[in-house]
Structure 1
Amino acid sequence: MNNQRILLSLFAIYFVFAILLNSVGTVILQVINTYDVSKSAASVLEGFKDIPIGIVSFLVASQLPRFGFKKAMLAGLAIVTTACIAMPLLPGFWTAKLLFLSVGVAFALVKVAAYSTVGLLARGRKEHASLLNTLEGVFMVGVLGGYWLFSVFIDSSNPSSTAWLSVYWVLAAICIVAFVLLWTTKMDESGMRVEGTSPRQEFLAMMKLMAKPLVYVYVVSVFIYVLIEQGIGSWLPTFNNEVLKLPAAMSVQAASIFAAGLAIGRLGAGAIMRRLHWYPVLNVCLVAMALLVVMTLPLSSNVQANPDVNWFNAPIAAFILPLIGLFMAPVYPAINSVILSSLPKHQHAAMTGLLVIFSALGGTTGSLITGTVFEVFDGQVAFYLSLVPITVILVSLFFFRRAVERELPGDAEVPANLAS
C-alpha cells in the first residue's frame, strides 16, 4: 500500500470538497443577486448542505468499514461531479439547493472515510495528529482558493449575470481528476472493522459512544465551534458587500482572508501545541476571537459607498475582522485529535460519524441564526452575536478537559503533543 499516494488522493478530495462546502457564502450572495431571493430564503442553502451531512452520517458512518472507505469516497466524488455539471446546464435557485444537497450527502461519505483512513495510515498519536493537521490545512487552502476561483467568474458590473455558474465546469473537472487518482490507488482497509459483527451491532456501538462523558462533552464543543465558524464564514461575503459596501467580487475576495487565517492557523498551530498543552492554547485563541469582534465591528459603522473602492482604500474592517479565522483555526482539529487518539481504530468511523453529525447541525444552526439576525437587524448585530457561542465554548472546553483527564488519567498530557 502506497501511503504517499493515498495521502495525495485524500488531499485532492479534501481540496475540492473544501471549495464546494465553503462556497455557500459566495453562492448565498450570488443567488440573492441573480435569482432575487431574500436573505432568509438564501440561508436555507446551509441547511441543504448540513442536514444531509448529519442524516447520512447517522445512517451510514458505522457501516462504512463494511462497505469500504475507498468505495465511499469514489461514490462521493461521482455524486458531486454530476451536481456540478447540472449547475450551469439547469440554472436556478432549486439547482443550487440540489447542489448543496448532493455535496452534503457526498461529504458525509468522504469525511468519515477520510478520517478513518488517516487512522489506518498513522502509526501513533503524534503521526495521527500530524496527518489530521495537514489534511485540515489542505482543506483550508482549498477554501482560500475557492474564494478567488469564484471571484474570477463573478461579474460585479452586472449582479444578475449567471456568468458565475461557469465555475462549476472547473470544479467538475477537478472532481474527475480526484476520482481517477483515487480509483488507481490501492488501499488495504483490513483491521478497520470488528469481524463477526452485524450492521445492527455496529450501529448500536456508535450510539453507545454517546454514553461516554468524554464524547458528549466533545460533541457539544464541536457543535458550538462549527456554529461560530459557519455563521461567520457563510455570511462574511454578504457582510462585506452590504455593510462595508464592497463590490460583489471584491467582497468574496476579502472573505478569503478568513480562509487564509484558518489555513495559516491550522498549519502553524501544530508546532506550538507540540510544546504547550492544548487547553490553555485554545482558551487564549477564544479570548482573542472575542476581543477581535469587540474591537473591529465598531470600525464597520457608517461606511459610505465608494464607487472607486479598491484594496488600498477599502474599510480597514475588511482586513481585520476576517483575521478571527487565525485564532479560530486550532480549535476544531485539536479537539478532534484528542477524541480520536483516545479511541481504538475500529471506532474511528463511528466517532467520525458523530463528529460529522454535530458539525452539520452546528453549521446549519449558525448560518440560519446569523442570516435571520442579519435580515431583521443588520450585519453588525449578527456578528456581535458570535460573542455568545464563544463564551459557551469556553465553558464547554473546561468540562471537555476534565472529561479527558477522567477517561485517560495516565495520559492526561497526551493531547499536549497533538498537532491542531
Structure 2
Amino acid sequence: MHRLLIIAAITACYFAFAILLNSVGTVILQSIGSFNISKPEASVLEGFKDLPIAFVSFFIASFIPRMGYKIALIIGLVLSLIGCILVPAVPAFWSIKILFALVGSAFALVKISVYSIVGMLTKSTNEHSALLNTIEGIFMLGVLAGYWYFAYFIDAQNSASLSWLNAYWGLAVLLLGTILLVFISPISTPNKKNDGDSQVSDDFIAMLKLAYKPMVLVFIISIFMYVLVEQGIGTWLPTFNNEVLALPADISVQLTSVFALALALGRLGAGQVLRFLSWFPFMLTCLLGMAALILVSLPLADKIDTANINSVIQLPFIAFLFPLIGAFMAPIYPVLNSVVLSSLPTQNQSAMTGLIVVFSALGGTSGSLITGTLFELIGGQQAFYMLLLPIVGITTALIFLKRWSAHSDVSSSADVEANS
C-alpha cells in the first residue's frame, strides 16, 4: 500500500508538470497573437523553461538526497503554484517568462527526485524500465490532457484574447491537490552523510567526472539530440498546424494532442514490447519509423484541404499522419535512461539524473530555438525536414552505445564468474 501511494504521488507530480511544461507550444502560439510578438521572440519561452532546468540540475542534483526527496518535490510544486497564480493575476509576457522559469527550476527538483525514487522502488533493470516507462507514459497522458484543457479556454475568433490565461487557475488547484498527496505519501529520506559541505562538493565533482566516461558521454549526446527533436516538434506543431495547414488556433492545439497521445501509447506499450525484444533493434526500428514518417507526411501537408473545418474529427487522415511520429520516438528517452541508470550504484543515480536533466534541458532549448528560427526563415515544412539530421546523429550514437554496453555486459559476466 505504501509503495502504491508513493507511485501515485510521483505520478501525480509528473502529470501536473506534463501539462505545465508542454503547454509552451500552445503558449507560444497564443502569445504571438495576444502580445503581438514575433516567432523568435516567442521561442525564448523554451529557454526560460529549459535553462533553469539545466542550471538547477547542474548545481543542485548532488544536494537533493540530503534535502530529502519529499521536501524537494513539495518545493517544486509550491514554486509552480506561485507561477500559476501570477500569470492570470498579471497578464503580461514577462509574467509568462517568470512562470516558465519557476516551472523549469521546479521540474529539475521533481525529475531528479522521481528518478531517484524509482531506483529505490525497483530491484532490476526490467523493473526499473517498466516503472519508468509507465510514469513517462502517464506524463504523456498529461501532455495530451493539457492540449485539450488549454484549447477549451482559447477564443478562436479573437487571437488577441487573454481568456486562455484563465486555464492557470485550474492548474493551481491541481498543484494544491498534488502537494497534499506528496505530503501524506511515505517517501523515505535517503541516509545523510555527516561530512558537511565538503561532501556536497565531492558529489558535485563526481557528477562532473561521470560526463568524462565514454559511454556516459555518448549517452548524453543521444539524450541531447533526442530532446532536440521532441521539443522541436512538440513546441512548434501547433504553429505548424495553424500556419501551414491553415487550421484555427483551437483545432491546431487539439490536433497536436495526437502527437502527445502517440507518445503516451508508445511509452506505455514499449514497457511490454521490451520484455520480449532487445532494446537495440527496437530503437533502430523506432528511428527508422521517425524518418519515414517525416519523409512521407510532410510532402502531403500542402495537399490537405482544411476549408470549412470546424472540429478535429472533420480532418482527413493525412492531417493525423505527422503527429503519429510520437509513437516511434516515445520509447527512446525512457529506455536509454533505464539502460544507463540501472547500471549505476544507487548512490550515483542522482548525479547521473542531474546530467540527464541538464542535457535534456539544453536539447529542448536548442530544439525550440533552432526550429523556431528555421520556421521563420524557410517555413514550417522545411524546418521539420531538418530534424532528420539529429535523427541520423542519434542512430550513430546508439551504435557506439551498443558497443560499450555489450563490452560492459561481458566484463560484468566475467566478474561474476571470478567471484563465484
- Flag whether TM exceeds 0.5 (same fold): yes
Which amino acid in structure 2 is aligned with residue 210 of structure 1?
A: A
Q: 1:385 to 1:317 in 2, by over 3 A?
A: farther
Q: Is the contact between residue 18 and residue 142 of structure 1 (CA under 8 Å) also seen in structure 2?
A: yes
Q: Name the residue aligned to 1:321.
A: 322
Deviation at 1:312, TM superposition (A): 4.6
Mark the runs of 5 or more structure 1 residues left unpaired by the alignment: 413-420
Separation in structure 2 between the aligned mates of residue 27 and residue 90 of structure 1, nearest angstrom:
15
Separation in structure 2 between the aligned mates of residue 383 and residue 194 of structure 1, nearest angstrom:
48
Q: Name the residue aligned to 1:242.
A: 243
Q: Name the residue aligned to 2:295.
A: 294
Q: Is the contact between residue 28 and residue 43 of structure 2 (CA under 8 Å) also seen in structure 1?
A: yes
* Superposition pairs of residues 46-85 of structure 1, within 5 angstroms: 46-85=46-85
Q: Is the contact between residue 245 and residue 303 of structure 1 (CA under 8 Å) also seen in structure 2?
A: no
Q: Which moved more, 1:363-372 or 1:202-211?
A: 202-211
Deviations 1:273-327 (A, max 9, x none): 1111100100011011101000000111265662444335435442110000000
Which amino acid in structure 2 is aligned with residue 18 of structure 1?
A: A
* Superposition pairs of residues 349-360 of structure 1, within 5 angstroms: 349-360=350-361
Q: Is the contact between residue 81 and residue 175 of structure 2 (CA under 8 Å) also seen in structure 1?
A: yes
* Superposition pairs of residues 270-281 of structure 1, within 5 angstroms: 270-281=271-282
* Superposition pairs of residues 210-359 of structure 1, within 5 angstroms: 210-301=211-302, 306-359=307-360
Q: Name the residue aligned to 1:123.
A: 123
Deviations 1:28-58 (A, max 9, x none): 0000011110001000000000001001000
Identity of aligned residues (%): 51
Deviations 1:160-192 (A, max 9, x none): 11110110000000000000111122222335x
Q: Name the residue aligned to 1:383.
A: 384
Q: 1:94 to 1:190 in 2, by over 3 A?
A: closer
Separation in structure 2 between the aligned mates of residue 89 and residue 401 of structure 1, nearest angstrom:
51
Separation in structure 2 between the aligned mates of residue 389 and residue 208 of structure 1, nearest angstrom:
26
Deviation at 1:118, TM superposition (A): 0.7
Separation in structure 2 between the aligned mates of residue 305 and residue 147 of structure 1, nearest angstrom:
20
Q: Is the contact between residue 244 and residue 315 of structure 1 (CA under 8 Å) also seen in structure 2?
A: no
Separation in structure 1 between the aligned mates of residue 322 and residue 309 of structure 2, nearest angstrom:
22
Separation in structure 2 between the aligned mates of residue 310 and residue 190 of structure 1, nearest angstrom:
50
Q: Which moved more, 1:368-377 or 1:195-204?
A: 195-204
Deviation at 1:257, TM superposition (A): 0.3
Which amino acid in structure 2 is aligned with residue 56 of structure 1?
A: V
Separation in structure 2 between the aligned mates of residue 131 and residue 310 of structure 1, nearest angstrom:
36
Separation in structure 2 between the aligned mates of residue 111 and residue 14 of structure 1, nearest angstrom:
8
Separation in structure 1 between the aligned mates of residue 361 and residue 194 of structure 2, nearest angstrom:
30
The two structures have a TM-score, normalised by structure 2, of: 0.95
Q: Name the residue aligned to 1:93.
A: 93
Deviation at 1:123, TM superposition (A): 2.3
Q: Is the contact between residue 228 and residue 366 of structure 1 (CA under 8 Å) also seen in structure 2?
A: yes
Q: Name the residue aligned to 2:180.
A: 180
Separation in structure 2 between the aligned mates of residue 330 and residue 177 of structure 1, nearest angstrom:
29
Deviation at 1:272, TM superposition (A): 1.1
Deviation at 1:208, TM superposition (A): 1.2
Which amino acid in structure 1 is aligned with residue 127 of structure 2?
A: E
Mark the runs of 5 or more structure 2 residues left unpaired by the alignment: 414-420
Q: Secondary structure at the match of 1:44?
A: helix
Q: Secondary structure at the match of 2:390?
A: helix
Q: Secondary structure at the match of 2:212?
A: coil
Deviation at 1:126, TM superposition (A): 1.9
Q: Is the contact between residue 306 and residue 315 of structure 2 (CA under 8 Å) also seen in structure 1?
A: no
Deviation at 1:411, TM superposition (A): 5.7
- Number of paired residues? 411
Q: Name the residue aligned to 1:154.
A: 154
Q: Is the contact between residue 16 and residue 142 of structure 1 (CA under 8 Å) also seen in structure 2?
A: yes
Separation in structure 1 between the aligned mates of residue 315 and residue 137 of structure 2, nearest angstrom:
28
CA RMSD of superposed structures (Å): 1.5
Deviation at 1:214, TM superposition (A): 1.3
Q: Which moved more, 1:325-334 or 1:293-302?
A: 293-302
Deviations 1:206-233 (A, max 9, x none): 1111121111110000000000000000
Q: Is the contact between residue 141 and residue 263 of structure 1 (CA under 8 Å) also seen in structure 2?
A: yes
Separation in structure 2 between the aligned mates of residue 18 and residue 32 of structure 1, nearest angstrom:
22
Q: Secondary structure at the match of 1:103?
A: helix
Separation in structure 2 between the aligned mates of residue 240 and residue 6 of structure 1, nearest angstrom:
39
Q: Which moved more, 1:268-277 or 1:182-191?
A: 182-191
Deviation at 1:241, TM superposition (A): 0.4
The two structures have a TM-score, normalised by structure 1, of: 0.95
Q: Name the residue aligned to 2:43.
A: 43
Deviations 1:127-147 (A, max 9, x none): 222111111011011001000
Deviations 1:375-414 (A, max 9, x none): 11110011111111111111011011112122332569xx
